[in-house]
Amino acid sequence: MLKSLKKRKVLLQRLKKRKKEVCALGRHISLSADKARRVIDQIRGRSYEETLMILELMPYRACYPIFKLVYSAAANARSNIGSDEANLVISKAEVNQGTSVKKFKPQARGRSYAIKKTTCHITIVVKDLSLDEYIVVE
């Protein structure tokens, strides 16, 4: 009798979905979205430590802002959900086109030439593989 009451109590406890993903967002980075996508495609789905090694060794200018964002996402995961860096995986990484800054450069004979400086928004989502999906709330 007592055993069945304990089982019912365990079954009646609420399960809460645990947050396993943390993101870092970089907005208005002065970089072309296509050039950033070339680097992002290389790191999507890889572990945190492997991603840092890849970004340090790649020769592209887009690597440094992406490196800072990955590092920031890991710091967010450490402080918000208390995860270890060895268990982190880049679950989602995307690049969206931002606003473009338009300037006019004067040319000869009274003409002007438009200069468009493109920006992009980069989102890095980091997932912790070691955490359980649900936690028991009493």
| DSSP symbol at 107 | -
Distance in angstroms (rounded) separating the CA atoms of residues 118 and 32:
6
- The pLDDT of residue 10: 55
Say if CB 89 and CB 46 are below 8 A apart: yes
- The pLDDT of residue 1: 55
Tell me which residue range forms the domain holding 90. Answer: 18-133
Give, for 72, the enclosing helix (H) or strand (E): helix 63-80
Is the residue at 38 inside a domain? yes
- The pLDDT of residue 2: 55
Is the residue at 77 inside a domain? yes
Is the residue at 91 inside a domain? yes
Say if CB 118 and CB 33 are below 8 A apart: yes
The pLDDT profile of the chain, 138 residues, written as one tens digit per residue, is 555 655 555 555 566 666 789 999 999 999 999 999 999 999 999 999 999 999 999 999 999 999 999 999 999 999 998 888 999 999 999 999 999 999 999 999 999 999 999 999 999 999 998 876 666 666
Is the residue at 10 inside a domain? no
Is the residue at 2 inside a domain? no
Count of structural domains within the chain: 1
- The pLDDT of residue 27: 96
Is the residue at 108 inside a domain? yes
- Phi/psi at 114 (5° precision): -80, 130
